Structure 1
Amino acid sequence: MTDRKPYRHRFPLSVIGDALRLSHRFPLSQRDVQELLHERGVQISHETLRQWNIPFAPLLTEELRHREPERGSRWPLDEVCVKVGGVGHGLWRAVNEHGDVLDILLQEDRDTEAAKSFFVRLLHQYDVPEVIHTDKLWSDSAAIWKLHVLHLVEHVQVASALRCNNLIEQSHRPTRQHERQQLGLGRRRRTQDFLALHARVSNLHQHTRTTLPAQKRRSYLTGALHVWNQVVQWAA
């Protein structure tokens, strides 16, 4: 992560933070967020919102990751095909046993080297897991075999068609919603940055839409908003 932080923005940081939270928390287009802010008396263009994402998204993503609690020792992992600029890409995603996203990585290829790159990226951030759950994609098994540190890890292959790996399948849904809302994804680098922050915001609100009692759910929501505001202030 770069140490250089965004500066010289015409709008207050509270407005920028609110706009980014809306666009990453809910399946809204940039024009939807523009209209919501207009109702609050804030006049911005959808292009301004896009420009705010470029410097802020990587900073907010990394800071949210550092503030997350220690993750579990089981990694359900999956890869789906998404189109970026009309070209098929593999979107690799790993979650823990509670459904929290560990990381995502958008890559042009879907082969062994792509799977290996994702595993290496995960191992730089987290301890070696006890169990890895994947579907029957051959590149995952080949990548695990190439990484000696993973040789003692239990590798469980599940049939994706039977939805046995339901945690990771559910985690893909917000990405698909965003893809439909935006009528496709644009540039690879900006898509990676957007989806990475999107995943961290989803983690932050993991318990705000559950069957928990209303009082506890509101408490989780208050805590999530407090953390978000702290992170936005840090990124200033």
Structure 2
Amino acid sequence: MTDRKPYRHRFPLSVIGYALRLSPRFPLSQRDVQELLRERGIQVSHETLRQWNIKFAPLLTEELRHREPRRGSRWLLDEVCVEIGGKKHWLWRAVDEEGAVLDILLQEHRDTRAARSFFVHLLREYDVPEILHTDKLWTYGAALRGLPVLHGVEHVQLVSTARCNNLVEQSHRPTRQQERSQVGLKRRQRTQEFLDLHARVSNLHRHTRTTVPAALRRSHQSAVLLLWREGNRLLSQDGSTEVKVLEPRW
């Protein structure tokens, strides 16, 4: 593909895409990314990396979300407390039965209104599930009763240590690693954008660990890198996506 430069940017998309991939893929801060780029002869400032994330990360997130396969009909939901700018927030997360992240949402509260907002947020992207697994938090049940579209969904409440809920509990671990690597989270909007991209990248690399044979793992890694480059290619010169409809990869 043509490795062109976006409008008013010094570096081509291959460099920008590489920089954007490092932080969501590995527990690295922007200072770490800056040092890795410097080692490869690419000298950028910390502010440049921040601007790249603000401008391109949401676009790449949408491209990767569109190219994900159809997800399962069983949702596992959980919430975890995170501190952003010295203020407590709740990170709501939903995964399917295979551990793929469906969506995440940062909210300031943990009440029925927040749970209902998260359900509405999920239903914008996915079909109504068949089964919902949650912990014993009562706000989930209250939110389900307030949404007629979910009245026929089976709701299973389990304790946090139950085996069926381990998938969503384990899904919080990479977020904690990123929080430590960045020495805390500063702004809510930037944190939401970063975690959205982090979730999409995590879904890509779910099958590239050592739990699968080496040949299959290398095949998955090659496919992931190709998909990432395709997402970079769709960024136009003014920083927006090309106006075209992509076929979902079911």
Structure 2 length normalisation: TM-score?
Answer: 0.90
Structure 1 residue 235: deviation in Å? Answer: 2.1
* Deviation per residue, 1:91-148 (Å, 9 max, x gap): 0000010000000000111111111011001111101000000011111111111111
Equivalent position amino acid for 1:169 in 2: E
CA distance in 1, matches of 2:106, 2:190: 10
CA distance in 1, matches of 2:212, 2:164: 25
CA distance in 1, matches of 2:204, 2:56: 17
Matched residues, number:
231
> 1:68-83 maps to which residues of 2 (within 5 A)?
68-83=68-83
Structure 2 residue aligned with 1:230: 230
In angstroms, what is the RMSD of aligned CA positions? 1.1
Q: Secondary structure at the match of 2:197?
A: helix
Q: Percent identity?
A: 73
Equivalent position amino acid for 2:71 in 1: R
CA distance in 2, matches of 1:165, 1:172: 12
Structure 2 residue aligned with 1:196: 196
Is 1:163–1:169's contact at 8 Å kept on the other side of the alignment? no
- Unpaired stretches in structure 2, ≥5 consecutive residues: 1-5, 237-250
Structure 2 residue aligned with 1:3: none
Equivalent position amino acid for 2:88 in 1: G
Q: Secondary structure at the match of 1:202?
A: helix
Equivalent position amino acid for 2:214 in 1: A
Is 1:79–1:92's contact at 8 Å kept on the other side of the alignment? yes
> 1:132-143 maps to which residues of 2 (within 5 A)?
132-143=132-143
CA distance in 2, matches of 1:111, 1:41: 50
* Deviation per residue, 1:46-104 (Å, 9 max, x gap): 22111111011111111111000000000000000100101000100000100000000
Is 1:85–1:185's contact at 8 Å kept on the other side of the alignment? yes
Structure 1 residue aligned with 2:54: 54
Higher helix proportion, which one?
A: 1
Structure 1 residue 164: deviation in Å? Answer: 4.5
> 1:93-112 maps to which residues of 2 (within 5 A)?
93-112=93-112
Structure 1 residue aligned with 2:177: 177
